[in-house]
Structure 1
Amino acid sequence: MEVRRILLSVIHKWWLIILLAAVGGAIGYYQYFLTAQTLYSANTTLYALNKDKIASGQTISTQDLSVSQGVVRQYSGIFYSRSVAEAAAKRITDFNVSGAELASMVTISSAEDSTVLTVRAEASDPKIAAAAANAMADEFISQIRTITNSDFIGILDPAQPPDNPIPNNGLKKTLLYFLGGIVVALGIIYVIEYFNTSVRSAEDIEEGLNLRVVGIIPEHDIR
């Protein structure tokens, strides 16, 4: 297919490009500006170290760190248990949050080969986000201490209500929808031209019928 023919078709169908670009931009604007929920994020930082050694003034060895890292990996799954979420929800009864809701808004993570964990909570209210992160962290620590009968994990930095919401990059995402509309329009135009078998020039006759054009009757406006 000739590039010139496609370009001419794009020019002739400029309205389709503008229409689909506007539709894509409108969808993006509606999704990320008009209906998007404002979320706040709060983090509680935990540590996992042998507090008995620290209290007695002993030096923390590489082996101690390795043991702490192993414990972090081994017991992190407890954080997502139903018992932890339900018990944590009872710690923040002022916000009327169920255990299932609390579990859905909180995550725990740690860097590779690290003894520091981060409990992250996202909620539409900054106070709920901070309370959820702290409640889950407190209950997680309580469960770990009960299971291991040790005091190796604790809170390093409790969560505070955030001042600003999480950026949703609405402008960038809306622009992507706008560009997506243009791409869809160009794709439609290309498909239309690809399946269009109408003859538009002498070259089309020569290519389609493998015949040489002897002459062309010019078009006249006879009145």
Structure 2
Amino acid sequence: MRIDEYYRILRRHWKIIVAATLAAIAVMFVWDLFQPKVYQASSSGFVTAGQPQNLSEAAFGDQLAKSRATSYVDVAQSRAVAQQVIDDLNLQTTPAALINQISVDQPTNTVLLRISANASSPEQAQAIANAWVKALAAQVAKIEGSGANSLRINVQDPAQLPSSPISPNTKLDLIIAGIVGLLGGIGLAMLRSQMDGRLRDPNKVREQFGVPVLGSVPQNAQLSKSERTIPIVVGEGVRTDTEGLVTAEAFLKMRTSLQYMNVDRTLRVIVVSSPNPDDGKSTVAANIAASVALSGEKTLLVDADLRRPSIATGFGLLDGAGLAEVLAHRVDLADVLQDAPETPNLSVLAAGLTPPNPSEMLGSKAMKTLLDDLAKEYFVVIDAPPLLPVTDAAILGTQVDGVVVVICAGKTLDHQLETSLRSLHEVHADVLGVVMNKLSQRDMQSYYGSGYGTYYGRDLDPPARSARERSVRRQRSKN
């Protein structure tokens, strides 16, 4: 997996990462609230060997004190010292429990003994630390005797009242929790990406399924504003805002891809289908047909979805008779062809009345003959039923020059596309490629580079936008 793919995964699932981080911090904060506070106070004493009379006695006493200080660490942790502290402070505990609250440290090559006491209140921690040094001094005096040259322990630094607890260390705990939550969130994002079969990346579609990606249609409010109309974003009625321009260019790119798809033969009849009913195949088919018509070539859009027709209604045309009646030899083709509104060179053949045997009609010799005749005069774009529910599109795929499969970005699953392509390959239909519909603006910029970001408004200044619109208008007038 490339670095840019990791970046896209993290960018797509940033909410999971943020939620996991905040959740970890919140859990740790609540946990710390219910943890008992522990305060620590430290006092120290030093070991002396009486009053030396000369330098040699002082040197000998210092070495003796350092040697014995190591042994006094064990004395400081003895039950006798602990019991004396309990008696002095009138504590309600046992020597073994009190020893667990104490740590004794003797810095290397020194005569110092450092006592650290932990307690639930700062006052008690201070009192235990100070009392412990005194109790240790008394215990050493019992062991060494009370002579003038005997070893003894003097208080070096009394314990100070601690200002804050050492546990829980809320600041450190929250930092650690944040890091753990962040890593956990990233792990969840990666796991969800691996388990998520929804297709979003045109590059992944190309690599995983081995089919060309003819183009990607960005999310467009005009394309999805109504379920009963089919908006055309290319041609005379195209919107001139940035969103409309980007969408129009996506369909013009598909037209160019189809024109140069195969240099050995010219495509004349194509089928547009999709795995599922709501992937936007009818809108894509209509706009591909309008894009071809915009180049000046006579184009025919055929509604071959005899089960749930939508083309005639989407264009606001009559749907009383159409393809079904032509195949049944009830009407002549010329009598049911209709001109698409505001789209020169584009004609529409409606589906007509729903027959009882759609699959048989679409796979009949009459359908093949009709398509051959239409191909002599028109570039034919057929809007076929979805591939997964019925076999109509696969049957049509055997009678045309190729099939275009429309998938919905972030909705179509990988196994759905795989099944759809398999159904076409099994009947030896020629799959021209895949169109990724409703690709988000974020993914559009991510996959195609920051240059596409200029189409999305903020960094496209008015002079640049006006120049772009004038260029599109000039191209239309030439066509």
Same fold (TM over 0.5): yes
How many pairs align? 210
**Is contact 1:6–1:193 with CA below 8 Å preserved after alignment?**
no
CA distance in 1, matches of 2:206, 2:97: 69
Alpha-carbon distance, 1:186 to partner:
0.6
- TM-score relative to the length of structure 2: 0.40
- When residues 9 and 157 of structure 1 are mapped into structure 2, their CA distance, relative to the original with a 3 A threshold, is closer
1:185 is aligned to 185
Alignment of 1:122 with 2:118, yes or no, is yes
Equivalent residues in 2 for 1:62-101 (5 A)?
A: 62-93=59-90, 95-101=91-97
Give the % identical residues.
18
CA distance in 2, matches of 1:96, 1:165: 24
Report if aligned partners of 2:82, 2:99 keep a CA contact under 8 Å in 1: yes
User: What is the aligned partner in structure 2 of residue 152 from structure 1?
Assistant: 152
Contact kept? 2:17, 2:189, Cα under 8 Å: no
Q: CA deviation at 1:64?
A: 2.6
CA offsets, 1:41-61, max 9 Å, x none? Answer: 3222211121232xxx54464
Matched position secondary structure for 1:47:
strand
Secondary structure in 1 aligned to 2:134?
helix
Query: Are 2:281 and 1:221 aligned?
Result: yes
Q: Residues 45 and 158 of structure 1 are in contact (CA less than 8 Å); yes or no, is this contact kept in structure 2?
A: yes
* One-letter amino acid of the counterpart of residue 113, structure 1: N
**Structure 2 alignment gaps of length 5 or more:** 216-273, 275-279, 283-309, 311-479
Relative to total residues, which structure has the larger helix share, 1 or 2?
Answer: 1
Runs of 4+ with >6 A deviation: 195-199
TM-score (norm 1): 0.79
- What is the root-mean-square deviation of aligned Cα atoms in Å? 2.7
2:44 aligned with 1:40, yes or no? no
SS of 1:121's equivalent in the other structure is strand
- Quote the Cα distance in structure 2 between the aligned partners of 1:58 and 1:52: 9
Matched, 1:203 2:203: no
Checking the alignment, whether the CA contact within 8 Å between 1:46 and 1:117 is kept in structure 2 is yes
2:356 alignment partner in structure 1: none
Q: Secondary structure of 1:118's match?
A: strand
Q: Distance in 2 between matches of 1:42 and 1:216?
A: 70
- Determine whether 1:28 maps to 2:28: yes
Residues 71-93 of structure 1 deviation map (CA, whole Å, 9 limit, x = unaligned): 01123112212232123211111
| Kept after mapping to 2: 8 A contact 1:89/1:135 | no
d(CA) in 2 for partners of 1:105, 1:37: 14
2:109 aligned residue (91, 110, 113): 113
**Corresponding residue for residue 175 of structure 2:** 175
Unpaired runs of at least 5, structure 1: 207-212
